[in-house]
Amino acid sequence: MVRLPLSAVVGQAEAKLALQLAAIDPSLGGVLLRGPRGTAKSSMARGLAAWLDGAPFVDLPLGADEDKLVGSLDLQAVLQDKHVRAEPGLLARADGGVLYADEVNLLPDHLVDLLLDAAASGVVQVEREGVSRRFDAAFVLVGTMNPDEGDLRPQLLDRFGLCVDVLTPTDPRERSAVLHQRLQAQHDGARFAAEHAAAEDAARARLRAARAGLAAVAVAHMCERVAVACADAGVDGLRGDLAWLAAARAHAALHGRSRVEDDDLAVTRDLALRHRLPEQPPEPPTGRRPNDSRQSTRPDSAAVAASVPSLARDGDSARAEARVGRGARGQTAATRDRAGAARRVETGAAVAWASTLRHAGGVPTSIEAIRHRARYRKQGGAWIVLLDCSASMLRGGVLARTQGAVADLVRQAYWQRRDIAVLRFGGDGVETLVPLGRAPKRTPLCVRVVQGGGGTPLAAGLAAVRELVHRAAGDATDRQLWLFTDGRVPRQTLPDPGCAVTVVDTLGGAGGHARRLATQLGGESRALDSLVRRAA
């Protein structure tokens, strides 16, 4: 594979600048590159490491666990010498270089939290079985994500120092330049690298000088201006203010200035604030903000939004309340591994070596003597929405009203940290609108605007749901089907969807069709119209 020098990347000036600023001041907390596949995100991250005088480049695997990231025990030392010693993880190995976290939005939240903690502090603390060890971890964090695959939760997004939307070039000339460049690199990689060697050396020297001169750059005189601008923009918290000041100072250092100027603030504003500026809805499903006089563009949907939480099963509210009390990394006290807290759990869990040695009085001689640490389990669960789009749903605007309720259910799943899938059935078959995965922050347009008509292939829809249920993460009790329908389906044998079922009656009980269908599926029925009336 030919490495593409960062100086050779066509376009993407904002992304290249953000990477340089984060390298000048790693305490910024890293850079998040958002964009579709094939926009040179990984190439730019690798190219940055080459600008740091041959610093390490550590690629974080998507399936990495906490031990691999933070560190673990040296098992050989435990078994041979009966000495418990901590072994550094990927964070410590990236010290002085670049840690690249591709598809960071698909990582568990507690791992993203660990990444961001280390990126901001420059150290990582390994605490395992009574052993505490501190490792240097001053690296530049580069996270990438494709927004089409789901967003980061707001509290994690806010902790990235800088954010860049990396877009596919639309100018044919720029696209053509990219193609020519790639062909040249593939044809003769050594010659291609030699042609860019001078530019690489210059960039490396410039970055080295900026890092050395950063501490001498004056920035305090810009505090009031930054604070006023962030307050006027409605930026929550102070991370945006601090990141903007730090980015402006790094930009001044990059240009050899000893004092932050207006141009430094102007260039770095969007990098530091674009992911922190307040957005319009979606909001948490608790109603409008106080004193919000704005009118919804979908009044029926807005009424349904307040009622959607009442659709949830009784157990869901208890789980939601339990999640409120969790720590910053989303773990309960029972799942944290601390000295003396080893427990016997299911086979396959990580071994608690220190507790095992103490309990067995040496190297264990039987399986029963081995103790394990509890695993972190993802919270949430999976919702699968099945939307009836047959011809009967078009009467009286029922489908349009139901679409608003489905969109609000997707929004609620996002705030409850659930996985979700949305399928429609009607006409000749079943169509997936939202593939199974983490609920998106913004409800896709295909959910809010759905065409209807034709027959009612409910059996095919339930068969598709059953397949998704087997793929969904979590226990069976955390899998729920929401079937939005008027219940007017042909008499037929229906497959078991393999999970709990709630039939949302879009006709409000008229004719009792949905209620009979719910009984046939072994589930419960709720009337959508009555929910709207209660919320009005």
Per the annotation, the verdict on 239 as an active-site residue is yes
Using the 8-state DSSP alphabet, how is residue 325 labeled? T
Long-range contacts of 184-190 (CB under 8 A, 24+ apart): 185/2, 185/4, 185/8, 186/2, 189/2
CA 4, CA 190: separation in Å to the nearest integer?
11
Torsion of CA 469, 475, 477, 482, to 10 degrees: -30
Q: CA torsion sign, 529 to 415 to 15 to 50?
A: negative
Query: Residue 298, class by beta-carbon neighbours within 10 Å (0-12 exposed, 13-18 middle, 19+ buried)?
Result: middle
Write the DSSP string, 34-62.
E--TTSSHHHHHHHHHHHTTS--EEEPPT
Quick check: 426 and 454 in contact, CB under 8 A?
Answer: yes
Query: CA 454: distance to chain centroid?
Result: 38
Nearest to 384 by CA among 345, 425, 355: 425
Distance of alpha carbon 517 from alpha carbon 149, whole angstroms:
34
- Whose structure tokens read 């939240």? 109
Pairing label, strands 429-438, 419-426: antiparallel
**β-pairing, 123-128 with 131-136?**
antiparallel
**Angle, alpha carbons 309-310-313 (nearest 5°):** 95
Q: Across the chain, which distance is largest between two alpha carbons, in Å? A: 79
Query: Alpha-carbon distance 251 to 264, whole Å?
Result: 6
Q: Among the options 34, 128, 239, 526, which is catalytic? A: 239
Instruction: Report in angstroms the alpha-carbon separations of 99 from 146, 159, 213, 353.
Output: 18, 16, 24, 29
Per-residue exposure over 8-21, b if at least 16 CB sit within 10 Å of its own CB, e if not: bbbbbebbbbbbbb
> Distance between CA atoms of 261 and 257, rounded to whole angstroms?
9
Structure tokens at 300: 């029926």
Give 87-114 as a 3 state SS string: EECHHHHCCCCEEEECCHHHCCHHHHHH
Q: Among candidates 460, 463, 497, 467, which has minimal Cα distance to 482?
A: 497
Distance of CA 147 to the CA centre of its chain: 9
CA distances from 93 to 89, 317, 386 (A): 6, 42, 46
User: Which amino acids are annotated catalytic?
Assistant: 239
